[in-house]
Chain A
Amino acid sequence: MYRYDEYDQAIVDARVAEFRDQVARRLNNEISEEAFKPLRLMNGLYLQLHAYMLRVAIPYGTLDSRQLRMLAHIARRYDRGYGHFTTRQNIQYNWIKLEETPDLLADLASVEMHAFQTSGNCIRNISSDQFAAAAADEIADPRPYAELLRQWSTLHPEFSFLPRKFKIAVTGSATDRAAIQLHDIGLQLVHGPGGEIGLKVLVGGGMGRTPMLAHVIREFLPVADYLGYMEAILRVYNRHGRRDNIYKARIKILVNDLGPAEFAAQVEAEWAQLKPLGLDPPPSELARIAAHFAPPVLAADAPVDIDLSNPEFANWVAVNTHPHKVPGHAIVTISLKAPGEIPGDASADQMDLIADLAQAHAGDEIRVTHAQNLVLPHVRRDALFTIWQALHAAGLATANLDRASDIISCPGLDYCTLANARSIPIAQKLAVRLARQEADLGELKIKISGCINGCGHHHAGHVGILGVDRKGEENYQLLLGGSGAEDASLARILGPGFDEDGIVAAVDKVIGRYMTLRAGPDERFLDTYRRVGAEPFKEAVYG
């Protein structure tokens, strides 16, 4: 994985010093809280309901064991012994003291990590495929392209005060594990006519208040023109995106207002202006970065057949591992969704254990998924039982990947100042309720947001739940039929909302109806819904 050189390290160290100075000015009352707010937000420090929350960037969701151990240390030293992995592949700490944040950031910088641009109206952490370099279906590892974007977007002088936040995802596979159709910019590595690698460029996707799927504005962008073209998109957005209404300020609104063809034409015109400036680094820079991502050397003769006589272990292997591109190996997903626990939370001890396992068995790499789980990407199959035993002892062997209890949830009203309703207790109740039957249900993605901003990706849920405030009471809307994968679609509201118990019962009814409607055990809930439409489910819930 990528390692800093002295330039990267000097920039991150300078950022720590800058924030130390800004915090000192705030603590000395040289600047007001009002003036300090945008400064701390540029560094991912929010003031939440109970305390400061710090969001730490995990670029494209990739960590090594040394970094994960540091995240555990930070949880112990500066927080309450745990952290929360987010839908942008980052980690958040919920109980941070302002005066300690400079030391915390210095600790992070010592392992080549930072909190650059994890908030604010700027280009946020670049997200990517958690199976990068391990999946059999990828054209190339997308992370060098993401790292190039990370560097280009860091402290960008023109694009740090955009109309609104800006999120970019990069994938190297046709199977979309990075939700590229639901990002401000989605990038997919594709082959050009001569077999060379380039990028398919999608713009204007997003969730939140006005969910939209992205439009392809360029089928093939040569790698040599990569950053210049990104610069052109961002400049069109920065100049023409709406600033009069915060709810209409994302690029999706501009793309929709102009129409994708006109937006693309404006980008091409801007790009023509920028091209002579030589904004793209030479190919040697991408090659330099890519060399850091060379996958570990894996034994091609590792045994494929392993002892699966322990049924609990065999079930975990079946549900939580994926085939690796090298035979005899597997991609392991560690679920952070034990039913009844808080989705995405991990204790410091759990992080240390996973770091140990990654170091011993997984090429020293850990990935964070946008579904708030962790991945060991390069594991020999004959090490799976050892790993499973260690995870089992730590409460981390829940076999529920992509199943009903593997719920995405935002922090909701338990932590967040924006929330209208609690999300976590709904996720906990549903997970406990559905865990018993989830093996029969197959793939079922439930996603819960505690407000219309949609951090819990409810619009991309096969079953989505949106918490709203109705006359001072928490109320939950039920949405069906969304997907954030390559078959992306936006979930639609089924009907009137429910209270806390009512939403759990309503999901139960939807699932009951699905079981009677599905064409067979292999037809996913999403496919049944797409085949039969909303009516039968409406009838089951309200009828």
Chain B
Amino acid sequence: MADNLAPLASREGPEPGHLFRLRRDPEHTAPAVPLADYPAGGTAVLLAPGDDARLLIPHLGALRRIDIAFPKFREGRGFSAARILREAGFAHEIRAVGVLTVDQLAFLVRAGFDAVLPATPFDPGVAQAVLARFPHVYMKAADAARPVWLLRQERALATPH
């Protein structure tokens, strides 16, 4: 039975074992409901690329996980969706689901994602290297990284004239 189910599962989407998660809190495992079917009070929702993330803002108090779909590599709307949700104050998991490569990981994290369910699994070593790669960033985003203009300003203020 299990042998028959395995290929079916991979045909339908990424396998749960591929999950790359940067959060320490327990995973919220409720299945994500498509936005069109989302019932008020539901705890997990799935945004398709064309969905307006702002429609979820009234529901952020109830939500524990928001999945955002990337059905193909050329899809980039999810980066805006995640950032909008973080700007609105959502602090629980935002999970990128779909055709994503390990080399996109730093972009995803800076846009507000803290979990990725890729179609093919990330090599954990490569993933850690990608996340550690850039020592500085140029712009504010959804993460806590401080842009270099802020570091420069602080340094200038600390330097006696």
Identify the A interface with B (CB < 8 A). 5, 7-8, 10-11, 14-15, 17-18, 21-22, 25, 35, 38-39, 121, 151-152, 154-163, 227, 235, 238-239, 243, 273-274, 277-279, 281-282, 284-285, 288
Are A243 and B79 in touch, CB under 8 angstroms? no
Task: Report the separation of the CA atoms of residues A17 and B129 in the bound assembly, to the nearest whole angstrom.
Answer: 11
Known: A39-B103, A121-B76, A162-B76. A155 touches B137 (CB 8 A): yes
Do A288 and B76 touch across chains, with their CB atoms under 8 A apart? no
Q: How far is the CA of A152 from the CA of B153 in the complex (A)?
A: 16
B76 and A285: CB pair below 8 A? no
**Contact of A282 with B149 at beta-carbon distance under 8 Å, contacts A157-B107, A157-B110, A157-B141 already known:** yes
Which residue of A35, A158, A161 is within 8 Å of B141 (Cβ)? A158
Contact with A along B140-154 (1 / 0, CB 8 A): 111000011111110
A157 and B133 contacting across the interface, CB-CB below 8 Å: no
Q: How large is the interface on B (under 10, 10 to 19, 20 to 34, 35 or more residues)?
A: 35 or more
Chain A residues near B151 (CB-CB < 8 A): 7
Could you list which residues of chain B lie within 8 angstroms of chain A, going by C-beta atoms? Answer: 49, 73-77, 79-81, 83, 87, 101, 103-104, 106-111, 126, 129-130, 133-142, 147-153, 156
Q: Which residues of A contact B138 (CB under 8 A)?
A: 11, 151-152, 154-156
Q: In the complex, which residue of chain A has the Cβ closest to the Cβ of B134?
A: A14
Given A11-B136, A155-B138, decide whether A285 and B80 contact each other with a Cβ distance below 8 A. no
A5 touches B140 (CB 8 A): no
Q: Return chain A residues, CB-CB under 8 Å to B134.
A: 11, 14-15, 18, 155
Asked if B129 contacts A21 (CB within 8 A), the reply is: yes
CB neighbours of A11 from chain B (8 A): 134-136, 138, 148
For B81, list chain A residues within 8 Å (CB). 239
**A281-B147, A288-B152 given as contacts; is B136 within 8 A of A238 (CB)?**
no
* A281 with B149, Cβ < 8 A, contacts A157-B110, A239-B80, A243-B75 known: yes
Cross-chain contact B79 with A277 (CB below 8 angstroms) = no
18 A–B contacts from the bound complex (CB under 8 Å) = A10-B136, A11-B134, A14-B133, A18-B130, A21-B129, A22-B103, A39-B101, A155-B134, A157-B110, A158-B79, A161-B75, A161-B76, A161-B107, A238-B76, A239-B81, A284-B156, A285-B149, A285-B152
A160 x B152 contact (CB < 8 A): no
- Chain B residues with Cβ below 8 Å from A163 are 76
Cα separation A35 to B152 with both chains bound (whole Å): 37
Docked complex Cα distance between A18 and B102 (Å)? 12
Residues of chain B within 8 A (CB-CB) of A239 are 77, 80-81
**Residues of chain B within 8 A of A17, CB atoms compared:** 133
Contact A161 B133 (CB under 8 A): no
